[in-house]
Amino acid sequence: MKIAILGPTASGKSALAAALAVRFGGTVVNGDPFQAYGGLAIGTGQPTLEDQGGVTHLGYGCLPLSLRVNPHSFGERVQGWLGGCSRPVLVTGSGLYLRGIWGQLSEFPAVPEALQERVRRWTDRLGGPTLHRFLGAVDPLRAAQLHPNDRSRIQRALALHLATGGPPSALLDGVKGGVPEGWKALLVLPSRESLRLRVAHRVRTMVEAGWPQEVAALVASGQEQDLRALHPLGYLAWLEGGDPEARIVQETQAYAKRQSTFFRNQWPEIPTWDPDTEDLEAAAHRIQAPGA
């Protein structure tokens, strides 16, 4: 039996995954593409050794920033990690990449490098919010899932549109949904106000842990271009002046809200668990994990 712990950023899903892995003798497997990159430990919330609680964690901080992944290629990589575990506990906040892991995406067409480069030039010249409006005109569904400053995902979506002539969200059409056979899933879902407070606390903790210094180290090591291309949530705010912490909190709160909505809409059958009002026993019982 495989377990999937899902939820928005700052919901407490990683802590629950580790606790369940301890309880059932399992291994935590990362399903978040940004947490798989090296050099982004603080700002993406990769579990520290203390957070891991002595449990084996796979797939964290192991990819170079120069590597580009999509839901298909990352899904295949995660499936490889899962295949080496007897009782894996998958944890992710990305619904689209979860579909890649669960094989619930249509085949992604090849996108010529020339098209990708064209969209990158548009982004550099016009900015993420303008391209987000373009995306909204051709694919309102995908645009609604993305923040206007999420340059990398907006670029990928527009490149797919140019390559196929259709909306990127159509890649989900005709694909069987639901929780795959052999899986049990749980959605970690605090109340809306609690999640907003959790996000603010999480960002403050990351800043105190050295997030600005982490970004500075990446720039000093010559990885700024890769960082800008990937555009992980919050990182570029440290390079653009103003009040980065306030901006990051606002953007992350909006992102967490979209994550919650996506999970509830795409997998309404998955039970929820509130970390602020329920205990580990309730979580274990709800997913009907082995030994619960």
pLDDT band at 201 (very low <50, low <70, confident <90, very high): very high
- What is the model's pLDDT at position 291? 38
Residue showing tokens 């694919």: 139
Residue 152 exposure: Cα atoms within 13 Å on the Cβ side: 17
The reply to whether 2-105+177-286 and 113-172 are identical in fold is: no
Q: What is the dihedral of CA 159, 163, 166, 168, to 10 degrees?
A: -40
In this predicted model, what pLDDT tens digit does every residue of 122-167 receive, in sequence order?
A: 888 888 888 889 898 888 888 887 878 777 778 888 888 888 888 8
pTM metric for this prediction: 0.83
* Adjacent-strand bridge partners of 101: none
List the chain domain ranges: 2-105+177-286, 113-172
**Closest to 33 measured CA to CA, from 196, 116, 119, 150:** 150
Strands 57-58, 88-92: pairing is unpaired
Residues 122, 74: Cα–Cα separation, whole Å: 26
Query: Exposure of 181 by Cβ count < 10 A (0-12 exposed, 13-18 middle, 19+ buried)?
Result: exposed
User: Could you tell me which CATH number the domain at 113-172 has?
Assistant: 1.10.20.140
Q: Inform me whether the pLDDT recorded for 215 exceeds 50.
A: yes
User: Could you tell me which CATH number the domain at 2-105+177-286 has?
Assistant: 3.40.50.300
Query: Residue 241, Cβ neighbours under 10 Å: how many?
Result: 7
Coil, strand or helix at 186: strand
In this predicted model, what pLDDT tens digit does every residue of 1-59 receive, in sequence order?
A: 899 999 999 999 999 999 999 999 999 999 999 999 999 999 999 999 999 999 999 99
SS (HEC) of 24-86: HCCEEEECCCHHHECCCCCCCCCCCHHHHCCCCEECCCCECCCCCCCHHHHHHHHHHHHHCCC
